[in-house]
């Protein structure tokens, strides 16, 4: 069995990066100086992942205030507005407000891939985009479009982002749909998400992951997710292990290769015996390939602990490889 490792998503900012961004916002430093600090900080977290032996690395998204903001700022007819808690976390995002059909003004991901691709070696670079349903459900919609129409338009723009990122050298595209684990998510939400994520995957032309975290989807939601035409399906294992095991045991993976969120990103302490035990307990439907990742993005914990989690993820992957050979 092939086992590979990758951090799920973004990193918190180091003290230096936080200070640089704060100075820029207060007019104390030119943005060119901030860009240099962010560039160096991004290279540092890429290096931490590569040195931990992770197969796919992310650029850390250190300059992203939240998963929606870079795209909201790069599209016409959408503006980041007031702050709101991001699911059940001590983390806030600015609500995107759509006033008309969104239109692109520039690409977000491809320039980042071009800037960091050479620093990822010997690992490969993964890019992450917000899922269209999560994006639309977490926004204010004054566009005149029906919610599903807005999600479809968002998917079209994200598909172009994924395609350009792959052309620039990205080896994997991850689409995050954490809303599908929310108690308010319905089967219709999951059906729409599966259709739109499949569209993004077909445009990307590289292996694509549908990632759901912050909880375990309801069975009826999960069943619809299984129709998505992606290669990998990523689930948060450690948030509620018993529910996750029950769900996957009864529903399987629908032909997708599993990616298991084993390293807890919302708590500082790690239990390797728990992680390895869960890895072996989760049914894998005979898949010859399994990804191992963090339960969520690492930006929910302090910077120094995010680096420790990265190293522990690499250690866990090596341990699991040894146990399955």
Q: Residues 130-161: pLDDT tens digits?
A: 999 999 999 999 999 999 999 999 999 999 99
Mean pLDDT within 110-122: 97
Average pLDDT over residues 41-70: 97
- Region 167-186: what's the mean pLDDT? 97
pLDDT digits (tens, 9 = 90+) for 236-261: 999 999 999 999 999 999 999 999 99
Return the top range by mean pLDDT from 23-32, 191-200, 264-273: 191-200
Question: What does the alpha-carbon distance between residue 254 and residue 266 come to, in Å, rounded to a whole number?
Answer: 28
Work out the pLDDT band at 280, boundaries 50, 70, 90: very high
Q: What is the arithmetic mean of pLDDT over 311-321?
A: 97
* pLDDT over 90 (residue 31): no
Structure tokens at 236: 């948060």
Q: What class is the 2-324 domain?
A: alpha beta
pLDDT at 164: 98
- With a pLDDT cut of 70, the percent of the chain lying above it is 99
Query: pTM of this prediction?
Result: 0.96
- What is the SS3 assignment for the chain? CEEEEECCCCCCCCHHHHHHHHHHHCCCCCHHHHHHHHHHHHHHHHHHHHHCCCCEECCCCCCCCCCCHHHHHHEEEEEEEEEEECCCCCCEEEEEEEEEEEEECCCCHHHHHHHHHHHCCCCEEEEEEECHHHHHHCCEECCCCCHHHHHHHHHHHHHHHHHHHHHHCCCEEEEECHHHHCCCCCHHHHHHHHHHHHHHHHHHCCCEEEEECCCCCCHHHHHHHCCCCCCEEEEECCCCHHHHHHHHHHHCCCCCEEEEEEECCCCCCCCHHHHHHHHHHCCCCCCCEEEEEECCCCCCCCHHHHHHHHHHHHHHHHHHHHHHC
* pLDDT surpassing 90 at residue 32: no
Q: What mean pLDDT is reported for the chain?
A: 95
pLDDT of residue 21: 81
pLDDT greater than 80 at residue 314: yes
> CA angle, 266 as apex, 262 and 269 as ends, to 5°?
75
Identify the pLDDT of residue 324.
84
Give pLDDT, residue 33.
77
Domain segments of the chain as ranges = 2-324
pLDDT (mean) for 287-293: 97
pLDDT score of 28 more than 80: no
Asked if pLDDT for residue 23 goes beyond 80, the answer is: no
What is the mean predicted confidence (pLDDT) over 8-19?
A: 93
pLDDT class of 129 with cuts at 50, 70, 90:
very high
pLDDT classification of 88: cutoffs 50, 70, 90: confident
Can the peptide bond before residue 179 be classed as cis, meaning omega within 30 degrees of 0?
A: no
pLDDT of residue 24: 72
């Amino acid at each position: 069995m092939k086992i590979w490792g990758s951090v799920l998503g973004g990193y918190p900012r180091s003290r230096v990066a936080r200070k640089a961004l704060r100075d820029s916002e207060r007019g104390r430093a030119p943005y060119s100086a901030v860009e240099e600090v962010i560039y160096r900080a991004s290279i540092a977290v890429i290096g931490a992942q590569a040195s931990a032996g992770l197969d796919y690395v992310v650029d850390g998204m250190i300059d992203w205030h939240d998963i929606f903001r870079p795209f909201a700022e790069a599209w016409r007819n959408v503006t980041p507005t007031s702050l709101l808690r991001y699911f059940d976390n001590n983390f806030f995002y600015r609500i995107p407000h759509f006033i008309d059909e969104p239109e692109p003004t520039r690409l977000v991901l491809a320039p980042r891939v071009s800037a960091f691709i050479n620093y990822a070696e010997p690992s490969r670079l993964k890019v992450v985009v917000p899922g269209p349903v999560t994006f639309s459900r977490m926004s204010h919609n004054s566009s005149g479009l029906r919610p599903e129409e807005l999600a479809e338009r968002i998917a079209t723009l994200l598909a172009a982002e994924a395609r350009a990122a792959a052309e620039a050298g990205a080896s994997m595209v991850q689409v995050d749909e954490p809303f599908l684990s929310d108690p308010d998510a319905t089967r219709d939400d999951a059906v729409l998400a599966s259709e739109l994520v499949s569209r993004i995957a077909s445009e990307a032309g590289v292996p694509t992951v549908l990632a759901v975290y912050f909880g375990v989807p309801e069975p009826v939601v999960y069943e619809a997710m299984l129709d998505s035409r992606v290669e990998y399906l990523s689930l948060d294992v450690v948030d509620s292990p018993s529910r996750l095991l029950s769900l996957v045991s009864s529903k399987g993976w629908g032909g997708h290769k599993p990616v298991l969120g084993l390293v807890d990103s919302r708590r500082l302490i790690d239990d390797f015996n728990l992680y390895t035990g869960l890895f072996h307990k989760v049914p894998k439907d005979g898949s010859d390939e399994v990804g191992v990742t963090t339960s969520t993005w690492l930006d929910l914990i302090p910077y120094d602990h995010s680096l420790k989690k990265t190293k522990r993820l690499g250690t866990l992957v090596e341990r699991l490889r040894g146990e399955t050979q």
